[in-house]
Amino acid sequence: MRNIYLLLMTPQLLSCQHEQVKVDFASIYQTHEITKIEIINENNGQHKIITDPKRIESWVNRVGNITFIRDENQEERAPTLLYPYSVKAYHDEQEIGDFVTGKLKGVYYKSNPAFNKQVKNIIRFSQLTRD
C-alpha cells in the first residue's frame, strides 16, 4: 500500500519543485523604502544620486507591477563588464538593491527585460556628472 501511495505522489511532488514563484517589484520594495538611487558609469566615473522623493516614487510606481523570478543560483556575482553602469537603491545610507546584478533585498532574481529597460531609462534621463 505504501509503495502505491509513493508511486501516486511522486509526480505531484516533482511538479512542485519546478514551479517558479513570481513576485512583483512592489512586493519587494514599499514605495517609501527607497530613499536614494545611485547611478555610476564605471568607465568614466560620472555619477548621479537621485534623492528627490517624487522622482523616486514615480520610478518605483512605473516598475511596481514588473514581476521577477527568484534565481536558483544565489551566489554573489559581479556586474557584467558588458554593462558599464552601476545602479543601486538605498534606504538612507544602507544599500538595499543592485538593479544591474538583479539583487533585490539580498535575493538574486533572473534577468527581466522590462525591468532592464526601466533601469536604462533612469540612466538615460539622469544627467551624470563628475565630482
In Å, how far are 48, 95, 100, 126 from 45, measured between CA atoms?
10, 19, 17, 14
Q: Is the pLDDT of residue 96 over 70?
A: yes
At 77 the pLDDT is 81
**Which residues have a Cβ under 8 Å from the Cβ of 83 and sit 6 or more positions away?**
100
Residue 115 vs residues 16, 39, 90, 105: alpha-carbon distances, Å: 27, 16, 18, 16
- How far apart, in whole angstroms, are the C-alpha atoms of residue 1 and residue 12? 18
Q: CA 99 to CA 111: how far, in whole Å?
A: 10
H/E run at residue 59 = helix 53-63
pLDDT value at position 14? 47
Residue 9 pLDDT greater than 60, yes or no? no
* Cβ–Cβ < 8 Å for 108, 74: yes
Q: What is the per-residue pLDDT for 6?
A: 44
Residue 10, pLDDT > 80, answer no
Q: Is pLDDT of 8 > 60?
A: no
Average pLDDT over residues 56-65: 94
Question: What average pLDDT score do residues 31-43 get?
Answer: 91
Domains of the chain, first to last: 20-124 (2.60.40)
pTM for the full predicted model: 0.78
